[in-house]
Amino acid sequence: MIIVTGAAGFIGANILRALNERGETDILAVDNLNTRADKFRNLAAFEIADYLDKADFIERLRQDALPRATAVFHEGACSDTMERDGRYMMENNFRYSVDLLDWCVDKGTPLIYASSAAVYGLGPAFEEVRGAERPLNVYGYSKLLFDNVVRRRREADPRGLPPITGLRYFNVYGPRERHKERMASVAFHHFHQFRREGKVKLFEGSHGFANGEQRRDFIHIDDVVAANLHFLDHPVSGVFNLGTGRAQSFNDVALAVINALREANGQGPVTLAQAAAQGTIEYIAFPEALQGRYQAYTQADTTRLRAAGFEAPMMTVEQGVAAYVRWLLKNS
């Protein structure tokens, strides 16, 4: 049996899809449907062996009453970077993860878990070393604290642990993220804004960048899932950045959405200058509330990821966003 926590969430559900495509259905799915019961739709299309509510799962975990597992994908966490309840964040993201780590170590079960690029804060370096890790919020801190627990245990007992793999996700976008609402990707929001208003709104220049030229490492969910399955098949312990290694602008994302929708309507592509002149891209003032709290630039250092054997090419924004828009049009 494979355990997937956060199974009804964005990344968890796409991992279920990929496991099913391999013929794997002996899966224990874990999630919390109390606040967003409509997340069940992310489960309904896939085959699983059993489902446990997160609270029930944690209780059984602490009582050592879970079935044996061949691997655990731990995607369950509060991913709201604006969450201000630090106690909840640390209990949900940190303590839960430590309990699961303890269980995996005791059973000798490989663990692949979700970390985050939020550990790097404003950068400017995005390398898996302590000197680069400066989280801006309690979400990023909760992820960093667990990464450090894993590091210390590996340093203390490198041979006595099962494979423990942390993946620091950069800006992930793609199918099955609707339930994330305001925390959904910019590609998702651009798509719906353009369909609703006929334009996409981006921030004016900030942090030394021109209008809409703030840059992040945007990675399609299919590439994220491919990396997770790589570490399932080729277990390696460590904390690894999971991004494309390319920083692309918010202008790139907006233009990719606009041109994919234009293509769907039988229209030809436009350039950035044409989109701005036509008013289909509009620049708005950078919010005061985000000053000092905004990642204007991220770019994963993928050296360790590639050295760990994950060699698959990853989609550019132009490729990945176009594929996502086609999926959204089909599945809205």
CA distance readout (Å), 7 to 28, 38, 209, 283, 316: 9, 13, 37, 37, 26
Residues 6+ apart with CB under 8 A from 104: 72, 110, 111, 162, 164
Q: Which residue has the tokens 């030809």?
A: 268
Identify whether the C-beta of residue 97 lies closer than 8 Å to the C-beta of residue 58: no
Is residue 180 part of the annotated active site? The answer reads: yes
> Whole-angstrom Cα distance, residue 172 to residue 10?
9
Sequence-ordered list of residues with C-beta below 8 angstroms from that of 90, at least 6 positions apart, any chain: 138, 142, 145
- 143 among known catalytic residues: no
Which of these is catalytic: 139, 169, 173, 324?
139
Round to whole Å and give the CA distance between 30 and 128: 29
Catalytic residue (choose from 54, 180, 199, 201): 180
Q: Looking at the annotation, which residues are catalytic?
A: 139, 180
